[in-house]
Amino acid sequence: MNPNLILDPVLRRHCRHGVIRTTTLQRLGIPPRTTYRRCQPGGPWTYLLPGIVLLARTRPTARQRIEAALLHCRGGGILTGLEAARRYGLRNIPPGSEVHLLVPADSQFRSPGFVVIERTTLLPDQRMPADVPTAPPARAVLDGARRIRELDPVLALLIEARQSGLCTVAELSAELESGSQRGTALPRAVLKSLATDLRSVPEARAAGVWRGAGLPPPTHNPELFGPGGDYLGRPDLWCDEVALAWEIDSYEHHYQRADYRLTLERNSRYAGAGIVLVQTLPSRLAKAPGAVATELRAAYEAARARPRPPLTMRHSNLS
């Protein structure tokens, strides 16, 4: 009888998600030389981290990487960052296999392979989704955002965290102020934008372009009504003093192609009401922000030069 088959039930009882320490294998009667041989190319097992083995010759799943990282910290780590945010259900997360763990400040664990060890004196109370010790949502999201170096992914992550109901802006801001200050410049700038009613990455980027154009502070996503109370639209940004609307129009971010007719009808209502409209594609916000700012200033001057139409603005109740 194949001795491997005899050992399989024993190994299953002593591993978690197919991951096990080499010391446990040795305690079960499998010597280090056997483990080493089985983890070589062509063997049935895989080394995930020093002293930690996956009992399969397959690409490890996210859960198996997490288990290996927790074993590395001997049960003293708390999952945080992007992998934790993914386990809370967020989708706008950059790809990667990094497993970020928080450990007590006096721990001596290092960061091997795909594991990032962060020592902290501010170890949070842990949650246990799917039996994994995990940092609270706001801490997990901001720990992930601090390790992103580009604006758009940070915008996407924090906007989704707010819109999904996982975290409020207040919770994120409080966590930002109380936690580590390393890598917080981008999250701090994004949270300032999220204090307004921004719904997408393009709208958040547009707010920055608007400020750069030197225009009066805009209103985000108000509801507009004509003199008779008829509904006109809900522009992304609105300058009420001159009745200037700015729409960040994109099939990808706001509507499907079948809804193009609705956009044309909206634009016709704007024109009939005397609203000066600027339309911009998201790609131009990233590639030519200076040119867009110039267009906005020109539209503002044109709107200011004519009498303001009798329109009513109401702050939207939508969130």
* pLDDT tens for each residue of 131-155: 999 999 999 999 999 999 888 888 8
Task: Measure the CA–CA gap between 311 and 231, rounded to whole angstroms.
Answer: 10
User: Residue 317 has what pLDDT?
Assistant: 52
In a domain, 98, yes or no: yes
Q: Which of 194, 218, 244 is the last residue of a domain?
A: 194
SS3 for 171?
Answer: helix
Same domain membership, residue 252 and residue 160: no
In a domain, 256, yes or no: yes
In a domain, 280, yes or no: yes
Same domain membership, residue 131 and residue 17: no
Q: Which of 150, 171, 194 is the last residue of a domain?
A: 194
User: Residue 256 has what pLDDT?
Assistant: 47
Same domain membership, residue 28 and residue 111: no
Per the model's pLDDT, the better-predicted residue between 266 and 191 turns out to be 266
In a domain, 319, yes or no: no
The answer to whether 35 touches 65, Cβ cutoff 8 Å, is no
Statement: residue 169 has pLDDT above 50: yes
Same domain membership, residue 87 and residue 50: no
Q: Write out the residue range of the structural domain in which residue 7 sits.
A: 3-59
Statement: residue 229 has pLDDT above 60: yes
- How do 237-239 and 244-248 pair as beta strands? antiparallel
Statement: residue 318 has pLDDT above 70: no
Same domain membership, residue 244 and residue 167: no
CATH number at residue 243: 3.40.960
Same domain membership, residue 176 and residue 70: yes
Same domain membership, residue 280 and residue 180: no
Same domain membership, residue 90 and residue 137: yes
Q: CA quadruple 150, 156, 158, 159: dihedral positive or negative?
A: positive
**For residue 5, what pLDDT band results from cuts at 50, 70 and 90?**
very low
Same domain membership, residue 122 and residue 41: no
Same domain membership, residue 76 and residue 42: no
In a domain, 35, yes or no: yes
Q: What is the DSSP string of 199-244?
A: -SHHHHHHHHHHHHTTPPPPEES-EEE-TTS-EEE--SEEETTTTE
Same domain membership, residue 260 and residue 178: no
In a domain, 16, yes or no: yes
Task: Measure the CA–CA gap between 225 and 14, rounded to whole angstroms.
Answer: 67
Residues in contact with 41: Cβ distance below 8 Å, sequence separation at least 6, in sequence order? none
The answer to whether 100 touches 62, Cβ cutoff 8 Å, is no
Same domain membership, residue 45 and residue 141: no
User: Residue 4 has what pLDDT?
Assistant: 43
Q: Which of 134, 159, 194 is the last residue of a domain?
A: 194
In a domain, 303, yes or no: yes
Number of domains composing the chain: 3
Statement: residue 187 has pLDDT above 50: yes
